[in-house]
Amino acid sequence: MLHKKITFIGAGNMAGSIISGLAKSGYPADLICACAPSANNTQKLADQFSIQASQDNVTAVDWAEVIVLGVKPQMMADVCQAMVDQGADFSNKLVISIAAGISVQRLQSLLGEKAQIIRTMPNTPSLLQKGMTGLFASEQVSEEYKTFAGDLMSAVGETVWVKEESMINSVIAASGSSPAYFFLFMEAMQTKAIEMGFDPEQARLLVSQAALGSIEMVKQNPDISIGKLRENVTSKEGSTAKALDTFNELQLTEIVAKAMQAASDRGEEMEKLF
Ligand SMILES: NC(=O)C1=CN([C@@H]2O[C@H](COP(=O)(O)OP(=O)(O)OC[C@H]3O[C@@H](n4cnc5c(N)ncnc54)[C@H](OP(=O)(O)O)[C@@H]3O)[C@@H](O)[C@H]2O)C=CC1
Ligand SMILES: O=C(O)[C@@H]1CCC=N1
């Protein structure tokens, strides 16, 4: 991939995960700058990966060709407005937003019509280069910048381009938020395993190793449906069948669908709020 100077505005959980994943992928560290008001997160990343740290958004934007916006949705308008008011010029820069609930149109109105904006929805496993990112580009974004954004996020995991911007909210539901669903499920299993007599470390190992093995089986067998893998574990009249009956009685599938819809709806709602 081409290497360009990248400034991250915001260096918290998500931006920090992408920076870590990128640095581990071999992206030149001296071309990455992390910028945030406090030195806490930026200095940690600078110490760990030899990237640049800054507390000055405008200078950091001027320095780079690619700007990744990684602040909370609630803060996005104020942060962008302040940068523009202080003279930051986003014309012809590639602006990659990782924020939920901020539309391209909103960003364009904040940063000016000449900013080339790509909206993405990554997730925190990007830290381990096992991320999943959905991307949406508005019509005016150049092919060069689309390729660059795709390559950048591919360096930290898998990517999917969506044609409709509204699908970014579906990406939030399926992969942006979903590490938290899997963590919740594992937490619940760990709690019960402890109740059944294991110490916390053993419980964590039992649950996490089963999760890891299951994920690997899904990844390494693309021709076998996930349903078939589930059936292979489920002996007739055995223990697994009893567990699955319980999930079905309590309508796990419907619960999951409702939770995913709620995540997507909140993404849509934030687009109106922020
Ligand atoms: N967490 C996740 O799993 C995912 C998050 N996202 C999106 O990523 C974005 C960030 O979320 P997350 O990383 O969780 O949030 P965090 O709170 O962890 O990080 C927010 C960052 O923004 C920085 N910040 C605050 N004010 C400014 C400012 N004026 N200028 C520059 N930086 C500023 C903070 O600085 P400081 O370090 O000084 O506090 C911090 O580094 C959100 O928009 C969210 O929707 C998308 C996908 C997944
Ligand atoms: O909770 C959120 O809004 C963000 C978007 C996806 C994950 N975290």
C-alpha–C-alpha distance, residues 140 and 176, integer Å:
25
> Is 34 within 8 Å of 41 (Cβ atoms)?
yes
User: Do 28 and 127 reside in the same domain of the chain?
Assistant: yes
User: Do 58 and 185 reside in the same domain of the chain?
Assistant: no
Nearest CA to ligand 2 atom 7: 177
Residue 112 corresponds to which tokens in the numbers above? 């000016």
Which atom, in ligand 2's list, is nearest to the CA of 266?
A: 3
User: Do 265 and 184 reside in the same domain of the chain?
Assistant: yes
In a domain, 171, yes or no: no
In a domain, 32, yes or no: yes
> Is 98 within 8 Å of 120 (Cβ atoms)?
yes
At residue 111, the pLDDT reads: 98
In a domain, 258, yes or no: yes
Nearest CA to ligand 1 atom 35: 36
Decide which of 111, 137, 163 is a domain's last residue: 163
In a domain, 243, yes or no: yes
CATH classification at residue 245: 1.10.3730.10
User: Do 197 and 138 reside in the same domain of the chain?
Assistant: no
- How much distance in Å is there from the Cα of 222 to the middle of ligand 2? 28
At residue 40, the pLDDT reads: 95
User: Do 141 and 80 reside in the same domain of the chain?
Assistant: yes
Q: Binding site annotation covers 14?
A: yes
Verify whether ligand 1 is closer than 6 Å to residue 125 (CB atom): no
Which atom, in ligand 2's list, is nearest to the CA of 179?
A: 7
User: Do 31 and 61 reside in the same domain of the chain?
Assistant: yes
Dihedral (CA of 157, 159, 165, 167) sign = negative
Nearest CA to ligand 1 atom 4: 14
Average confidence score pLDDT of the chain: 98
User: Do 221 and 105 reside in the same domain of the chain?
Assistant: no
User: Do 99 and 41 reside in the same domain of the chain?
Assistant: yes
In a domain, 172, yes or no: no
As for how many domains the chain has, the answer is 2
User: Do 62 and 159 reside in the same domain of the chain?
Assistant: yes
User: Do 131 and 246 reside in the same domain of the chain?
Assistant: no
- How much distance in Å is there from the Cα of 100 to the middle of ligand 2? 6
What is the three-class DSSP state of 74?
helix
Domain that holds residue 75: 6-163
Decide which of 139, 163, 187 is a domain's last residue: 163
CATH classification at residue 68: 3.40.50.720
* Helix orientation angle between 73-85 and 104-111, rounded to the nearest 10 degrees: 20
Q: Binding site annotation covers 11?
A: yes
User: Do 54 and 155 reside in the same domain of the chain?
Assistant: yes
C-alpha–C-alpha distance, residues 71 and 264, integer Å:
19
Residues 6+ positions from 245 with CB-CB distance below 8 Å: none
> Is 170 within 8 Å of 56 (Cβ atoms)?
no
In a domain, 68, yes or no: yes
Decide which of 130, 163, 196 is a domain's last residue: 163
What is the three-class DSSP state of 234?
coil
Nearest CA to ligand 2 atom 8: 177
Verify whether ligand 1 is closer than 6 Å to residue 71 (CB atom): yes
C-alpha–C-alpha distance, residues 208 and 28, integer Å:
33
For the stretch 148-162, pLDDT in tens is 999 999 999 999 999
User: Do 125 and 68 reside in the same domain of the chain?
Assistant: yes
For the stretch 239-248, pLDDT in tens is 999 999 999 9
* Residue in 22, 46, 26 with CA at minimum distance from that of residue 34: 46
In a domain, 232, yes or no: yes
Per-block average pLDDT, block size 10, for the chain (274 residues)? Answer: 96 97 96 97 97 98 98 98 98 98 98 98 97 96 98 97 98 98 98 98 98 98 98 98 98 98 98 96
In a domain, 168, yes or no: no
